[in-house]
Amino acid sequence: MGLFDRHAALLADYRDVQTTGADPFQVRMERVLSPTEAIIDGRKTLLVGTHNYFGLTFDPSCVEAAIEAIRTEGTGTTGSRIANGSYGQHTLLEREIAEFYGKKHCMVFTTGYQANLGVISGLVGDGDHLLIDADSHASIYDACRQTQAGIVRFRHNDPSSLDARLRRLSNEPGNRLVVLEGIYSMMGDRAPLEEFVEVCKRHNAYILIDEAHSLGALGENGRGLCEAEGVLDDCHFIVGTFSKTLGAIGGYVVSDEPDFDILRVTVRAYMFTASAPPSVIASVRQALRVVKARPELRHRLWKNAATLYDGLAARGFRLGPVHGPVVAVLMPDRPTAIAFWRALLEAGIYVGVAAPPATPSGISLLRCALCAEHTREQLEHMVEVMTGIARQMGVLDEEAGPAMN
C-alpha cells in the first residue's frame, strides 16, 4: 500500500476535473492589475471571487505603508514573537484592533486559519464542550481535532438546535464554548446572532464568533455582525482575518477576558510559527484606518452586492438566501458547476467554485464575492454573460420566473 493510496478516490475525481479543462484549483494570474482585474491565460479577467471586499490591496496609502515598513524594518521577522520578540508594530496593531472593538485584549496571528485553530483549541480541553455550527469553516473543524474537549455539532443557523444540545449537557461539568460565524462564506448567509446570544446566556456558554467575511461589511462602523446586532459585549471572543477586507494576510482575536494573555504562552499556532512581517502589519494598520475613515466603501460594497444579486435573481438564477458581499449561485451538480465556471473564465470573468465535500448539504455552487471597486457596468456585464451561459447550458428555468432560494 502506497502513501497516496488513501487519496485514491479523490485522485480519480480530481484527474477527471483536470483532464476536462481548466483546473479551478490551479488558476494562475499572470498579472494582477487592480482589485477587480487580472490577466489570466493572456486575457484581461474581471475578478469576482477573491474576497477583496474593500479593494484595499491596491490602496495607495496601504501600499506606501508596506513599502516604508520594508525600508525601515526589513522584509521579515525570521521567527515567532516568543522566540524573536515582537516588533513595535505588532503591539501597536493589537492595541488598535482592541480599540476598534472596544475590547481590552487582542492577539494577532500569522493567518486567520491559525487564529481559529489556536484560540479555539487553547480555550477548551478535556472535560469541556465545544459546540460548533454544522457549516463551520475548515479552520474551526480543524481546531476540533486539536482539542480533547467533547465536540457537539448543531444545525446550521438554528438556535433551537443549539438550545437542545446545551440542555442535554446541562448536568455535565466543564465549560461550554459556542463557535459561530458572522457571514458564512459558502452561502453568504448570516448567523441569527441575537437569538444565539440569548440561548448562550441561558446556558452560561461562552461565544466565539468568526467575523472573517463580515469585518468592514456589517455594522455601523464595520465591526461585523456583533455590531450590527448590538451584541458586541455578549461575544466573548471575536476572531477575524486580515486576508479579506484588510487586503493582506493574518488573523486576530479580541476579548475582554481578564486572563486572555496566557494564550500567548499556551497556543502553539501562535508560539511555534513566524510572526507577520513588518510590511503586512503596517499595511493592515493603515487598512484599519481606511475602514474607519471611509464608510462609503461599505456602502459601495452593498450597492454592488444588490446589483449582482438582484440582476441574477431577475434572470432566474437560484441564489443564496440574502444580499451580501458573498453571492452564492446554486448549480444543479458538480459537473455543471465546473463547466459553468470554465465558460465564465473563458468569457473573462473569474469567480470561485465549490462542490461537495467542501460545501454544506452536498450543494454545488459558484462563489461570487463583491468588491467596493467593482463598477455597475462590470457587474451588469457579468449578469449578461452569466445569463448567456446559463441559457446555453439549460441551467435557468425561465418559465418559472425569478427563482430565489
Ligand X SMILES: Cc1ncc(COP(=O)(O)O)c(C=O)c1O
CA pair distance 198, 74, nearest whole angstrom: 48
Q: Of 61-69, 105-113, 294-302, 313-321, which segment contacts ligand X by CB under 6 A?
A: 105-113
In the set 131, 162, 177, 212, which binds ligand X (CB under 6 A)?
A: 212
In the set 137, 190, 285, 300, which binds ligand X (CB under 6 A)?
A: 137
β-strand pairing of 37-40 with 237-241: unpaired
Please, what is the minimum distance in Å from the beta carbon of residue 371 to ligand X?
16
Please, what is the minimum distance in Å from the beta carbon of residue 13 to ligand X?
22
Q: Give 124 or 132: the residue with its C-beta nearer to ligand X.
A: 132
Residue type, 226: C
In the set 35, 49, 55, 112, which binds ligand X (CB under 6 A)?
A: 112
Q: Give 77 or 387: the residue with its C-beta nearer to ligand X.
A: 77
Q: Of 53-61, 191-199, 208-216, 259-267, which segment contacts ligand X by CB under 6 A?
A: 208-216
Q: What is the DSSP letter of 404?
A: -
Return the bridge partners of 399, or none: none
Q: Give 111 or 387: the residue with its C-beta nearer to ligand X.
A: 111
Q: Give 385-392 contacts, CB < 8 A, sequence gap 24+.
A: 385/344, 385/347, 385/349, 386/312, 386/315, 386/317, 386/329, 386/344, 386/349, 387/315, 389/340, 389/343, 389/344, 389/347, 390/315, 390/316, 390/317, 390/340, 392/343
- Site membership for ligand X, residue 216 (CB under 6 A): no
Helix (H) or strand (E) holding 133: strand 129-133
Please, what is the minimum distance in Å from the beta carbon of residue 352 to ligand X?
10
Q: Which residues, at least 6 apart from 129, have a Cβ–Cβ distance to it below 8 Å? A: 149, 150, 152, 169, 172, 174, 175, 176, 177
Give buried/exposed letters for 32-45 (b at 16+ CB in 10 A, else e): beebbbbebeeeeb
CA pair distance 340, 390, nearest whole angstrom: 8
- Site membership for ligand X, residue 185 (CB under 6 A): yes
One symbol per residue from 141 to 180: x for binding ligand X (CB under 6 A), - otherwise; what is it? ----------------------------------------
Cell digits for 367? 462563489
Q: Give 137 or 176: the residue with its C-beta nearer to ligand X.
A: 137
Q: What is the CA radius of gyration of the chain?
A: 22
- Site membership for ligand X, residue 111 (CB under 6 A): yes
Q: Of 109-117, 172-180, 327-335, 397-405, which segment contacts ligand X by CB under 6 A?
A: 109-117
- Site membership for ligand X, residue 359 (CB under 6 A): no
Q: Where in 227-256 is the site for ligand X (CB under 6 A)?
A: 241, 243, 251
Ranked by CB distance to ligand X, the top (closest) residue is 112
- Site membership for ligand X, residue 81 (CB under 6 A): no
Three-class SS state of 241: strand
Q: Of 21-29, 108-116, 293-301, 356-364, which segment contacts ligand X by CB under 6 A?
A: 108-116
CA atoms within 13 A on the CB side of 204: 8
CA pair distance 233, 247, nearest whole angstrom: 27
Binding site for ligand X (CB under 6 A): 111-113, 116, 137, 139, 181, 185, 210, 212-213, 241, 243, 251
